[in-house]
Amino acid sequence: MKKVVLFCLLVAYIWLLPKVFGQVSAASLKFDKTSASVDVGGTLSVGVIVDAGSDEISSTDIYVTYDASLVEAQSVDAGSFFPTVTNNISSGRVYIAGMVDDPASSKTGSGTVATITFKGLKNGSGAISFDCTSSKVIKDDINATNIMDCNANGSLTVTVGSGGTPVNPTELPKSGIFDDMVKWSQWGIVLVIVGGVVRLLLL
């Protein structure tokens, strides 16, 4: 009976071990700031950053949305993260694409894909954010999997001139309270299993 219990504990330990140590961080998009202010008629530079999380990525499609009556996107300058960057500006929306040149290569970590220059149009406050439905962070795999986690994306609150009633979007953390509880509970289970195995071995 003791051997059966010991075997079950070992199986459970082996099953849980990669789940505890294999915690991955999600790919996401964010800006180089979470809040900014600009004068009416003045300009504001906003860096657009991609974070590959725990994966290797080959490209990203980024759609940035904003209140076109508050600010105007005037230009997009390529960043250094991807060798190839293209863009398209329309009213209330900026599209940015970044990709590797060599299909055999990939990118890891985080970096600036591009920098958008906005012009302040009128007094007020609003959000510059990512369109999660259209935006993608593409994993370097045969399926070109979109690995972006919308909940991990950032946003920017911009105040123009004297401002107004501000809109303060909440930026969700990459790992919420529930995720932390799950992570620490898994550690607790592993410790209980290890303790049980040691106790059985000593009996």
* Residue at 4: amino acid letter: V
What is the total count of domains within the chain?
A: 2
Task: State the first-to-last Cα distance of the chain, in angstroms, to the nearest integer.
Answer: 13
- Residue type present at position 105: S
Enclosing domain of residue 131: 28-172
Q: Is the same domain home to 81 and 121?
A: yes
Per-residue confidence of the chain (203 residues) as pLDDT tens digits?
Answer: 555 544 555 544 454 444 444 456 899 999 999 999 999 999 999 999 999 999 999 999 999 999 999 999 999 999 999 999 999 999 999 999 999 999 899 999 999 999 999 999 999 999 999 999 999 999 999 999 999 999 999 999 999 998 754 444 444 444 443 344 434 445 455 455 546 544 655 56
Predicted TM-score (pTM) of this structure: 0.71
Q: Of 94, 140, 93, 133, which Cα lies nearest the Cα of 113?
A: 94
The CATH number of the domain holding residue 146 is 2.60.40.680
- Residues 65 and 139 both lie in one domain: yes
Cβ pair 87, 114 in contact under 8 A: yes
Q: Are residues 125 and 197 part of one domain?
A: no
Encoding tokens for residue 155? 């946003």
Give the amino acid at 50. V
43-51 vs 110-120, strand pairing mode: antiparallel
